[in-house]
Amino acid sequence: MSVFLSKEELELKEEIKQFAEEYVAPKVNEIEKSKSYDTIRNIIRELGKRGFLRVLHPKEYGGSEFGVIGDTIIAEELSAINFALDLSRLASVHLCGMPLNRFGTHEQKEKFLTPLIKGEKIGAIGITEPDVGSDAAGMKTRAHREGDYYIINGEKRFITNGSQADYICLFAITTPLPITRPKTGMTAFIVEKGMKGFTVEKDYELMGLNGTRISHLRFKNVAVPAENRIADENYGFKVLMDELNSERVAIAGQGVGVAKAAFETALRYSTERIQFDREIRGFEGVSFIIADMATRIEAARALTIQAARTLDRISNIRATKIASMAKYYACHSANWIAKEGIQLMGGIGYTKEHPMERFARDAPLLEIGGGTRNVMLYLIQREAYRERGF
Ligand SMILES: Cc1cc2nc3c(=O)[nH]c(=O)nc-3n(C[C@H](O)[C@H](O)[C@H](O)COP(=O)(O)OP(=O)(O)OC[C@H]3O[C@@H](n4cnc5c(N)ncnc54)[C@H](O)[C@@H]3O)c2cc1C
């Protein structure tokens, strides 16, 4: 029963939950400990086979047109079991897939989008650079046209799936300052693995998200065919802004998932641990934290669903404020819940006997990737003033 989700959406939730618990959960140890990306790659392939990568995309290219709401349901249930896996899924079928979905040509969709939906290929998105993160419009990677090709030079860092991806949706400046502002001089391209001059410098060692790959990539005179350009030249900033709105709602879904997993772990432990001859849930200092956690999760999920509905039913452009609110609140809450979860469990929460320490290590990325907490707050206040004419 849900006052927010339809019967069809609840069925999807049940299906992905069952898949996550029966197929993914037994592999979490392998994802955490193995040095190889194979476990994640194989699960993404299986997600594709079972149709879970279809939700966002058009039927013509193998999608199911379930919408952003379907993507947040999948993000929540997979992230509750393993956030690293879901981050890799998201980077492939959503972050790389959405620019193709919304702006790609028929040929680009057939060639690049369908294999992502089937789970046969892995995608990535390349925005961030060593000198440019929050201020994405200031990126330094350059592309210029020579005949039927664009020549790309630059570097990208922190690219999820970067070293493993079959192709990457890359943003570069095609018309640099001072001729025009960066916002009107950016273009999106699909750069394919194996193109000459495209190299992986390294995968970063991270505090969490074991098993996934976050890479530093270099592009030296990479010749990309003009048919790999997504949308018109200099239209890339619009492509990027469009993608970021739906990405942020999906990350909010991931935040709800991580929060939910940490909450369930804490709640169960509070009924098992005995101190001073009673279950620790009997102390208000513990049970009131449980109450706070439960409330935050419901509020975060409600915001996330509202944001997904805005994208699905109203418009992308109108979703900026609610998408930022959902990401800000769900991701901040996930971090708070994981941190409080450790406190609630005492010493054992700080060990690897329980997954709480993994939730606390993985959760900070929620408030960084797809725009930091401050960037979300900036967007929320900007829209709040703008709506009132200030
Ligand atoms: C695990 C991981 C995966 C990632 N995956 C991808 C990916 O797949 N593709 C991709 O392109 N990028 C990816 N990123 C990069 C991520 O999107 C950036 O790290 C993020 O946008 C922040 O940029 P930055 O790290 O350069 O921080 P900065 O922009 O340097 O920010 C540093 C600090 O300054 C604050 N700040 C900056 N500007 C403002 C402002 N105007 N007002 C207030 N505060 C401000 C920020 O909030 C932050 O606290 C990933 C990062 C990580 C860690």
* CATH number of the domain bearing residue 320: 1.20.140.10
Domain that holds residue 342: 237-385
Q: Are 256 and 330 in contact (CB under 8 A)?
A: yes
* Nearest alpha carbon, ligand 1 atom 27: 133
Does the pTM of the predicted model rise above 0.85?
Answer: yes
**Cβ of 133 below 6 Å from ligand 1:** yes
pLDDT of residue 223: 98
Do 27 and 116 lie in one domain? The reply is yes
CA 388 centroid distance within chain: 31
- In the annotation, is 247 catalytic? yes
Q: Tell me what percent of the residues of the chain surpass a pLDDT of 70.
A: 99
Nearest to 311 by CA among 372, 257, 250, 368: 250
Confidence of residue 349 (pLDDT cuts 50, 70, 90): very high
Is residue 257 domain-shared with residue 380, that is, in the same domain? yes
Structural domain total, the chain:
3
For residue 372, the ligand 1 atom closest to its alpha carbon is: 47
In angstroms, the CA 308 to CA 13 distance is: 15
Residue 83 Cβ inside 6 Å of ligand 1? The answer reads: no
Task: State CA 301 to chain mean position distance.
Answer: 16
Q: What is the tens place of the pLDDT at every residue in 156-206?
A: 999 999 999 999 999 999 998 755 566 789 999 999 999 999 999 999 999
**CA-to-CA distance for 147 and 314, rounded, in angstroms?**
40
> Of 9, 243, 247, 357, which is the active-site residue?
247
Task: Identify whether 248 is part of a domain.
Answer: yes
Is residue 218 domain-shared with residue 279, that is, in the same domain? Answer: no
| Dist. CA 121–CA 134, nearest whole Å | 29
Is 341 a pocket residue for ligand 1 (Cβ < 6 Å)?
Answer: no
Cβ-count burial 260-293 (b if 16+ within 10 Å, e if not): bbbbebbbebbeebeeeeeebbeeeebbebbeeb
Evaluate: CB of 369 within 6 angstroms of ligand 1: yes
pLDDT digits (tens, 9 = 90+) for 85-112: 999 999 999 999 999 999 999 999 999 9
Count of residues making up the chain: 390
Report the pLDDT value the prediction gives residue 182, as an integer from 0 to 100.
62
Could you tell me which residues come within 8 angstroms of residue 287 by beta carbon, excluding any fewer than 6 positions away? 270, 281
Indicate the pLDDT class of residue 259, thresholds 50, 70 and 90: very high
Mutation test residue for ligand 1: of 158, 159, 214, the one with most atoms within 8 Å of CB? 158
Q: What is the CATH number of the domain that holds 225?
A: 2.40.110.10
Residue whose CA is at the smallest distance from ligand 1 atom 43: 374
Q: Tell me, what CATH number does 45's domain have?
A: 1.10.540.10
* pLDDT at residue number 141: 97
Cα(339) to centroid(ligand 1), Å: 22
Do 336 and 183 contact (CB within 8 A), yes or no? no
Q: Once rounded to an integer, what is the mean pLDDT over residues 241-254? A: 96
Q: How far is CA 287 from the centre of its chain?
A: 32
390 in a structural domain: no
**Do 262 and 340 reside in the same domain of the chain?**
yes
3-state secondary structure of 176: coil
Q: Look at residue 317 in the predicted model and tell me its pLDDT.
A: 81
Task: Give a yes or no: residue 299 inside a domain.
Answer: yes
> Counting atoms of ligand 1 from 1, which one is nearest the CA of 378?
42
Q: What are phi and psi of 23, to 5 degrees?
A: -100, -40
Q: What is the mean pLDDT of the chain?
A: 96
Taking residues 250-276, report their average pLDDT.
98
Give every CB contact of residue 347 below 8 A, 6+ residues apart in sequence. none
Residue-wise pLDDT tens digits, 65-74: 999 999 999 9
Residue 129 DSSP symbol: B
Is the CB of residue 43 less than 8 Å from the CB of residue 84? no
